[in-house]
Structure 1
Amino acid sequence: MTSPASSVAAPSPSAVAKVVLVLEALSSVHGVSEISRGTGLPTSTVHRILQELVGLGWVRVDADRRYLPGVRLLSLAGQSASIPQIVRPVLQRLCTETGHTIHFALLSGDEAVYVDKLEGDRAYAMRSRVGLSIPLHCTAIGKSILAALPKPELRTRLSRLPLTAMTPRTITDPDLLVAHLEQVGARGYSVDDEENEEHTRCLGAAVLDHHGAPIGGISVSALTFDLDRAKVRTCAPLLLAAAREASQALGLPARRD
């Protein structure tokens, strides 16, 4: 004879439990159908949960439409070092497209720190290295980060920065720098025109988190003879596309044009 307890159906998982089931499934499967089968949840429920998690930055979608742990989930798990790994494919493609050296740096206090570098196919090499701290006011990545800040926060940061003249071309006047950064913000990318190092020209674009705040930037770097004005115009759209893709990989919602 069946006991009363055994005839009672198991309770359906709570809303929180469903989210946890989906997150746990991401460690081994990355498609809606696969997650649905693994968790026993309806595909519509899995899809809704994943979309909400993507919007919050806990899950990301790659170019193959696979759902993967997002930067917020990785950071919570103590894996923030995975951020360069997430962005690396974007950098590799940009390096191939431009042939120039590509840097990825993360904001750290009032500086940025190189966390990845890919050498181009040129006969020369840039002297930069992973782990090097760079100033914000005169580097392509730094200026792109500053330009992406709200005006009050920008002014606060500039008040703390020494604005040291690294070369004769470095902008050291705060008002002139603010005006310059407004132009950077309007076009979406910055140019370090021998402002940090003589004979070197770089383009930079900010990488944003899921809130739209700058957390770092990507740069294209070369000697000045190798990155002239015409090549700047060619490389800029490629850089902007890469920065946008990196931002979306880190949780920024895709633009709806």
Structure 2
Amino acid sequence: MNGTEEMSGKTSKRRVPAIDRAVRILDFVAASGRVPGVSELARTLQLPKSSVHGICETLVELGLLQSSTDGFEPGGRSLLWSSAFLDRMDIVREFENLLSQDRRLDDFTVTLSTMADGDVVYLACRNATKPLGFTFQIGMRLPAIYTATGKAMLAAMPKAARQRIVTEYWAAPLTDNAVKDASSFEEEAVRWRGLGYALDRGEIREGMVCLGAAIMDIQGQPAAGIAISMTSAEAKKDKIKRYGAIISELAAKLVCR
């Protein structure tokens, strides 16, 4: 069960427990930045140690993990999947081409993301050279309700679809600036839809402001999002308005096929 499911008390009846555990282990190993062993994985993920050992051994044999004297690291086979996924995502190449041609965002961290369940998943990023205090990475997942691109994509959805996702995948706040409840989010969504872009004012990280706009597919549904990040000190009202318009303009040039 992932974090959002634990908080909502919901889980999918169609999930296979062994696969769910394997994915949780892979996610933890990939995100930890360390080389966790069986004991740490079992303790942190609250899984039986014997199950963790068996799953890890299987994942090593499959090339999804590799073992060392200290524990487990990501295996090379996962790169085949990520490469195949990104190869199909023409939007990533369009995003990179657009940034190379339009230099108005050169001073900012720029990200491209999509939605998976209640999270945004980052597909591409160009981190700025100046300090931001937060580094975006490809494959990183964050709660959609607190991110600029997540807000923008949700705001562009039909109301019923948006409210279902917001309710089902409501996540614990990451900072004190987080939107408080689903009703407040709905009020914000109406505003973001009218503006054409959404704001994260320190909801992912204190002191960081992000502006995001939805990228639509050929059916006119939100399929991805583009965002820029800046420090709170930079986020003056006129600057937000100016770059919000730019983000909306660039998002309109990108289409998910």
Q: TM-score range by the shorter chain?
A: 0.5 to 0.7
Is residue 91 of structure 1 aligned with residue 85 of structure 2?
A: no
SS in 1 for 2:145: coil
Q: 1:93 to 1:78 in 2, by over 3 A?
A: closer
CA distance in 2, matches of 1:78, 1:111: 18
Amino acid of the structure 2 residue aligned with 1:182: V
What residue is the counterpart of 1:198 in the other structure? Answer: 206
CA shift digits 1:63-83 (9 cap, x unpaired): xxxxxxxxxxxxxx9941433
Structure 2 unmatched runs, 5+: 1-84
SS in 2 for 1:225: coil
Largest Rg, 1 or 2: 1
CA shift digits 1:164-206 (9 cap, x unpaired): 2111110131111101111000111001011121010000000
1:127 to partner: Cα distance? 1.6
Is residue 163 of structure 1 aligned with residue 166 of structure 2?
A: no
Amino acid of the structure 2 residue aligned with 1:150: P
Amino acid of the structure 1 residue aligned with 2:156: A
SS in 2 for 1:137: helix
- Of residues 222, 230, 234, the one that matches 1:226 is 234
Amino acid of the structure 2 residue aligned with 1:104: L
TM-score (structure 1 length as normaliser): 0.62
User: Contact 1:94–1:102 at 8 Å: present in 2 too?
Assistant: no
CA distance in 2, matches of 1:159, 1:97: 34
| CA RMSD after TM alignment | 2.3
Is residue 148 of structure 1 aligned with residue 188 of structure 2?
A: no
What residue is the counterpart of 2:220 in the other structure? Answer: 212
Q: 1:136 to 1:123 in 2, by over 3 A?
A: closer
CA distance in 1, matches of 2:155, 2:250: 18
1:73-152 to structure 2, matched below 5 A, reads 79-93=87-101, 96-97=104-105, 99-124=107-132, 126-152=134-160
TM-score (structure 2 length as normaliser): 0.62
Structure 1 unmatched runs, 5+: 1-76, 252-257
Aligned residues: 174
CA shift digits 1:60-101 (9 cap, x unpaired): xxxxxxxxxxxxxxxxx9941433112211234455445111
SS in 2 for 1:226: coil
- Of residues 177, 182, 189, the one that matches 2:197 is 189
CA distance in 1, matches of 2:208, 2:101: 22
User: Contact 1:163–1:172 at 8 Å: present in 2 too?
Assistant: no
- Of residues 219, 235, 251, the one that matches 1:243 is 251
1:123 to partner: Cα distance? 4.8
SS in 1 for 2:88: coil
Q: 1:198 to 1:138 in 2, by over 3 A?
A: same
CA distance in 2, matches of 1:229, 1:93: 27
Identity, % of aligned pairs? 21
CA shift digits 1:21-47 (9 cap, x unpaired): xxxxxxxxxxxxxxxxxxxxxxxxxxx
User: Contact 2:115–2:144 at 8 Å: present in 1 too?
Assistant: no
Amino acid of the structure 2 residue aligned with 1:90: L
Amino acid of the structure 2 residue aligned with 1:177: F
CA distance in 1, matches of 2:191, 2:107: 27
User: Contact 1:92–1:118 at 8 Å: present in 2 too?
Assistant: no
CA distance in 2, matches of 1:158, 1:126: 25
CA distance in 1, matches of 2:206, 2:177: 9
User: Contact 1:101–1:221 at 8 Å: present in 2 too?
Assistant: yes
SS in 2 for 1:184: helix
SS in 2 for 1:235: helix
User: Contact 1:149–1:214 at 8 Å: present in 2 too?
Assistant: yes
Amino acid of the structure 1 residue aligned with 2:95: V
User: Contact 2:86–2:92 at 8 Å: present in 1 too?
Assistant: no
What residue is the counterpart of 1:45 in the other structure? Answer: none
